[in-house]
């Protein structure tokens, strides 16, 4: 094995007098250090190894190639010192070669640097070298390598800075998952969350002023949007198992069908990586909130597995100011508690991955149960309205390189999703009249994708088939108000990404064609009148996108994208509900014309590093679908107009010495309504604030971490006439996390610190000040048994 070579420069020569003075100063320094060491041993408990915040400094530096001067990415920088620091003893260099780690201020130490393809080395540091956080520059000598042929298999990730899309990836801390996903997504730039209450309540997401139905939600590649319509409820999604959330603003990759007006939110749970580990997490907090989860993963006979169990509940009986439905009369306002807003949920998740010849097979299955109350608006709270639902999902994916074509890979995916909802309102306090319905949705789909790599570019061909069935059941009468419906769909498309001008420019393009065949069954209550919808409908949709990414400097990238997308009408819009809403099978799909352009800049001047992204976007949607009421008081959906949303997005982060990190984003948008109705034309679109700001300040040390959060939304409106106003609001939050050794983490979070009384929807208040505490204990049983890239 090659011995490490010293990396520190040669020491200067001293004269005899200088050596005596230097030796005397060393002796005095050594005496002071010895006295300090005796005092520390006297006041600390025997065997204590923790380092306090007062004795921790930060080493910041960068690793470079000694020949080319390029940064070395993924190099291991390990701290060799007599004082143990198990949590940050080693770090990996970032994309610009930089690294940050903690070390004792008054203790000399050595850095060991190792990287694949380079000669390992040692860099001896003295305490004086890091006074004032002096940067450390390390140069590694490259080694010639002789290697056999290596085959690397991995799924091609699309949520990276390498594409033309503007994507924000939110990485969740596995040792302290958040109370809910809606709060995490609300921090992303360009994203808006609307909810009807506290934890577990109905929550939807909007991207760049879109509606909830225009945003596609995926859970590990399985689409959650239903053909029935209404958007996806974020409050009914798992929390503990989520590892990362990718938010696509604008461009939609081919793997998601390449067709979404508002964007895509991809929620990814933890992968079965084969590392034997176990973790137990518990959370408790305000309004009777509790959550308990356990995760177990490992490997056996080249099979990787992961299993998760999660139980959660909350009473959500928070206090709020009830205006009794008289917004302008303050005399009858009183403080009261939210009633019938509780929820109970349980989730199971299992994943397995194992090789199948030259391919790898991933299998995932999940089961979710949820029971909750529906509280209705604040001045007329329901006491007995309940919603029970369950969802079972199964997915299998086979991917790998083709044996007969080394530069091509294939991915086959098959999923099955079944979900059922039972809604009971026997008092008729929430909807119109007494209701007791049980609706079941069954969907399945298969997808094939072929990727071919040539000349540094990637060409993708994909096809998808699917079916969704909606079976309603009215438990109070023989026939349901909603008809049985079925949607069969097929998608075919292509996507290409080509490097040009010596990889300085990457151009991308793609298109897809969709065909949907919708049909409803059963008897129409509209009989043979003009309101009776047709039983069948076939719709062809076409879309495409073009984009480019230009590297102007090593750390400055300019991106641009334009796309044409469609949203087909939902079952509710096509076939109605057999009662007050009539279907309209003559509806045309909503069409979106979206484009954006911006830049992404990373600037690292040791010891600081900052990142900036600025984007201008414009989304134009035609054929908006709206419900209009006729003289018989029957609502009929019609294509009546268009909307335009344009604005800017800014996202920035700054890393400073001492573990301090600042993150902020700001979205400014002008959501204009251009419908044909004169009393709505020129108004703002509903639920689309013009200004939204999210800021996070984090201070992280080796044994603890604290953070401050701020979110702000300007005034916006709930209706198209802009008469119902949601006032501007600013919310503050605090978090504190304590690392108790290498396996235990304790966290405390305070939300809505100033106890502001806010609401997303008129009459549906949100909780005031809330406190949550969590404890996580993890144990890594062993090392990785098999390695899969």
List, for residues 451-477, the tens digit of each pLDDT value.
Answer: 888 877 889 999 999 999 999 888 888
pLDDT of 663 reads: 95
H/E stretch holding 749: strand 744-751
Which stretches within 148-233 are classed as H helix? 181-185
The confidence band for 606, taking pLDDT boundaries of 50, 70 and 90, is confident
What's the confidence (pLDDT) of residue 348? 94
Mean of per-residue pLDDT scores for the chain: 80
Those residues with Cβ within 8 angstroms of residue 503's Cβ, 6 or more apart along the chain or in another chain: 456, 551
What's the rounded Cα separation, in Å, for the pair 266 and 263? 10
pLDDT digits (tens, 9 = 90+) for 382-409: 888 899 999 999 999 998 888 877 788 8
Task: Assess contact for 620 and 570: CB atoms under 8 A.
Answer: no
- Which runs of E-coded beta strand occur in 554-634? 556-567, 590-605, 608-629
pLDDT of residue 172: 85
Residue 341: pLDDT above 80?
yes
Give the pLDDT of residue 465. 95
Which of helix, strand or coil describes residue 317? coil
Neighbours of 662 (CB within 10 A): 16
Where does the pLDDT of residue 127 fall: very low under 50, low under 70, confident under 90, or very high at 90 and above?
low
Are the CB atoms for 480 and 472 separated by under 8 Å?
yes
Question: Is residue 189 over pLDDT 90?
Answer: yes
Summarize the confidence of residues 346-373 as an average pLDDT: 92
Please determine, for residue 347, whether its predicted confidence score (pLDDT) is greater than 90: yes
Q: How many Å apart are CA 549 and CA 599, to the nearest integer?
A: 9
Strand partners, 109: 125
The predicted model gives 577-592 an average pLDDT of: 72
Q: Which residues pair with 112 in a beta bridge?
A: 78, 122
Cis peptide before 786 (omega within 30 of 0): no
Q: Which residues contact 625 (CB under 8 A, 6 or more apart)?
A: 569, 573, 587, 590, 637, 638, 639, 640
- Residue 705 banded pLDDT, cuts 50, 70, 90: very high
Q: Report pLDDT for 117.
A: 77
C-beta separation of 191 from 277 below 8 A:
no
Q: Residues 37, 38, 40, 45: what is their CA dihedral angle, to the nearest 10 degrees?
A: 130
pLDDT of residue 8: 37
Which residue, chain included where needed, has tokens 């696509």? 248
Helix (H, G, I), strand (E, B) or coil at 393: strand
Provide the pLDDT for residue 524.
Answer: 54
Summarised one tens digit per residue, pLDDT across range 664-682 is 999 999 999 888 778 888 8
Which of the four pLDDT bands, split at 50, 70 and 90, describes residue 145? low
* Helix (H), strand (E) at residue 260: none
Mean per-residue pLDDT, 3-29:
43
Above 60 in pLDDT, residue 34? no
Distances (CA, A) of 149 to 302, 358, 406, 479: 22, 15, 12, 66
Whether 655 and 680 have beta carbons less than 8 Å apart is answered as: no
Quick check: 622 and 675 in contact, CB under 8 A?
Answer: no
248-278 pLDDT, tens digit each: 987 787 778 767 888 899 998 888 878 888 9
The phi and psi torsions of 135 (rounded to 5 degrees) equal -75, 150
Tokens of 56: 């921790």
Report the 10 Å Cβ neighbour count for 59. Answer: 24
Query: String of b and e for 399-426 (b: at least 16 CB within 10 Å)?
Result: bbbeeeeeeebbbbbebbbebbbbbbbe
User: Within 13 Å, how many C-alpha atoms sit on residue 180's CB side?
Assistant: 25
Closest by Cα among 378, 18, 443, 2 to 225: 443
Looking at residue 270, its pLDDT comes to 85
The reported pLDDT for the residue numbered 67 is 76
Please list, in sequence order, all residues whose beta carbon lies within 8 angstroms of the beta carbon of residue 58, skipping any fewer than 6 positions away.
Answer: 100, 101, 102, 103, 130, 133, 607, 657, 658, 659
Backbone torsions φ then ψ of 706, nearest 5 degrees: -135, 150
3-state secondary structure of 314: strand
Task: Quick: pLDDT tens for 356-369.
Answer: 888 889 999 999 99
Q: How far apart are CA 548 and CA 267, in angstroms?
A: 26
Q: 581 - beta bridge partners?
A: 635
Token representation of residue 235: 């409050």
Secondary structure (DSSP) of 667-714? EEEEEEE--S-TTTTTPBPTT--SEEEEEEEEEE-SSEEEEEEEEEE-
Task: Quote the pLDDT of residue 47.
Answer: 34
Q: φ and ψ at 542, to 5 degrees? A: -130, 140
Q: How far apart are CA 589 and CA 537, in angstroms?
A: 12
615-660 per-position pLDDT tens digit: 999 999 998 887 665 555 556 777 878 889 999 999 999 999 888 9
Exposure of 667 in the CB half-sphere (CA atoms within 13 A): 28
Indicate the SS3 state at residue 402.
Answer: strand
75-84, 101-110, 295-304, range with the lowest pLDDT:
101-110
Which of the residue ranges 13-22, 489-498, 510-519, 524-533 would you say has the lowest mean pLDDT? 13-22
Rounded Cα gap, residues 214 and 211, in angstroms: 5
What is the tens place of the pLDDT at every residue in 209-226?
Answer: 888 888 999 988 888 888
Mean pLDDT of 303-330: 88
Measured distance CA(632)–CA(634) in Å, rounded: 5
Q: Which of 361, 450, 446 is nearest to 788 (CA)?
A: 361
Looking up tokens 């050594």 gives: 30
The string of pLDDT tens digits covering residues 36-71 is 444 333 333 333 333 333 334 567 788 888 877 778
Task: Show the tokens assigned to 535.
Answer: 């039983």
Is 415's pLDDT higher than 90? Answer: yes
Q: Taking phi first (over 0 means left), then psi (-120 to 50 degrees means alpha), and beta for anything else, what does residue 741 get? A: left
**Pair 249, 166: CB distance under 8 Å:** yes
Question: What letters, b where the CB count within 10 A reaches 16 and e where it falls short, cover 180-215?
Answer: bbbbbbbbbbbbbbbbbbbbbbbbbbbbbbbbbbbb
Cα dihedral sign for 170, 175, 176, 178? positive
Decide which of 577 and 255 is more confident: 255
Residue-wise DSSP of 344-390: EEEEEEEEEEEEETTEEEEEEEEEEEEEEE----GGG--SS-EEEEE
- Who wins on pLDDT, 371 or 154? 371
């Amino acid at each position: 094995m090659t011995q490490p070579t010293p990396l520190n420069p040669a020491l200067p020569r001293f004269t005899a007098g200088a050596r005596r003075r230097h030796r005397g100063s060393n002796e005095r320094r050594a005496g002071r250090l010895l006295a300090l060491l005796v005092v520390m041993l006297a006041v600390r408990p025997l065997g204590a190894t923790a380092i306090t915040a007062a004795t921790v400094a930060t080493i910041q530096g960068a690793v470079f190639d000694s020949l080319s001067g390029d940064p070395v990415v993924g190099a291991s920088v390990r701290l060799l010192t007599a004082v143990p620091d198990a949590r940050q003893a080693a770090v990996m260099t970032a994309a610009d070669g930089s690294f940050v780690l903690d070390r004792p201020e008054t203790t000399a130490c050595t850095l060991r640097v190792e990287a694949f393809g380079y000669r390992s080395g040692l860099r001896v540091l003295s305490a004086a070298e890091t006074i004032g956080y002096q940067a450390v520059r390390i140069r590694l000598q490259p080694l010639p390598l002789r290697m056999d042929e290596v085959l690397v298999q991995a799924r091609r990730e699309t949520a990276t800075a390498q594409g033309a899309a503007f994507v924000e990836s939110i990485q969740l801390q596995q040792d302290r998952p958040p109370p809910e996903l809606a709060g995490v997504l609300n921090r992303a730039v360009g994203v808006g969350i609307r909810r009807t209450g506290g934890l577990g309540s109905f929550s939807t997401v909007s991207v760049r002023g879109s509606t909830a139905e225009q945003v596609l939600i995926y859970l590990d590649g399985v689409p959650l949007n239903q053909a029935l319509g209404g958007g996806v409820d974020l409050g009914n999604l798992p929390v503990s198992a989520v590892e990362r959330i990718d938010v696509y603003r604008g461009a939609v990759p081919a793997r998601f069908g390449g067709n979404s007006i508002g964007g895509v939110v991809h929620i990814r749970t933890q992968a079965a990586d084969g590392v034997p580990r176990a973790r137990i997490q518990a959370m408790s907090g305000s309004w009777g909130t509790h959550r308990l989860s356990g995760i177990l993963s490992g490997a056996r006979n080249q099979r990787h597995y992961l299993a998760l169990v999660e139980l959660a509940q909350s009473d959500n009986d928070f206090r709020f100011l009830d205006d009794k439905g008289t917004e302008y009369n303050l005399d009858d306002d009183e403080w009261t508690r939210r009633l019938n807003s509780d929820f109970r949920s349980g989730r199971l998740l299992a994943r397995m991955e194992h090789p199948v010849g030259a391919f790898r097979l991933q299998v995932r299955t999940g089961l979710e149960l949820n029971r909750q109350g529906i509280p209705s608006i604040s001045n007329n709270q329901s006491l007995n309205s309940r919603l029970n639902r369950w969802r079972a999902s199964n997915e299998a994916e086979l991917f790998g390189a083709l044996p007969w074509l080394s530069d091509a890979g294939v991915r086959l995916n098959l999923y099955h999703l079944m979900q059922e909802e039972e809604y009971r309102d026997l008092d008729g306090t929430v909807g119109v009249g007494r209701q007791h319905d049980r609706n079941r949705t069954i969907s399945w789909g298969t997808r094939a994708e072929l990727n071919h790599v040539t000349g540094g570019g990637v060409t993708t061909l994909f096809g998808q088939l699917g079916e969704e069935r909606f079976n309603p059941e009215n438990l109070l009468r023989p026939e349901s108000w909603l008809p049985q419906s079925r949607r069969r769909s097929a998608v075919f498309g292509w996507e290409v990404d080509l490097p040009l001008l010596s990889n300085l420019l990457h151009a991308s393009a793609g298109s897809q064609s969709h065909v949907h065949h919708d049909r409803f069954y059963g008897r129409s209550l509209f009989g043979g009148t003009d309101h009776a919808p047709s039983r069948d409908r076939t719709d062809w949709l076409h879309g495409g996108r073009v984009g480019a990414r230009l590297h102007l400097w090593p750390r400055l990238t300019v991106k641009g994208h334009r796309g044409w997308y469609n949203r087909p009408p939902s079952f509710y819009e096509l076939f109605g509900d057999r009662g007050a809403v009539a279907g309209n099978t003559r509806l045309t799909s909503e069409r979106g014309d979206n484009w954006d352009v911006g830049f992404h800049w990373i600037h690292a001047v040791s010891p600081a590093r900052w990142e900036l992204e600025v984007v201008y976007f414009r989304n134009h949607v035609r054929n908006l679908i709206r419900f209009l009421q006729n003289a018989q008081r029957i609502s009929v959906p019609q294509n009546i107009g268009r909307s335009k949303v344009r604005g800017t997005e800014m996202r920035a982060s700054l890393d400073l010495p001492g573990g301090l990190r600042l993150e902020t984003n700001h979205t400014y948008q002008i959501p204009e309504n251009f419908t044909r109705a004169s009393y709505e034309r020129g108004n703002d679109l509903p639920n689309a604030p013009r200004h939204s700001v999210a800021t996070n300040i984090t201070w992280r040390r080796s044994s603890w971490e604290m953070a401050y959060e701020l979110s702000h939304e300007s005034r916006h409106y709930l209706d198209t006439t802009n008469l119902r106003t949601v006032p501007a609001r600013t919310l503050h939050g605090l978090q504190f996390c304590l690392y108790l050794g290498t396996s235990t983490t304790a966290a405390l979070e305070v939300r809505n610190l100033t106890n502001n009384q806010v609401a997303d929807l008129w009459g549906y208040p949100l909780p005031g000040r809330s406190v949550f505490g969590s404890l996580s204990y993890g144990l890594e049983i062993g090392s990785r048994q098999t390695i899969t890239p």
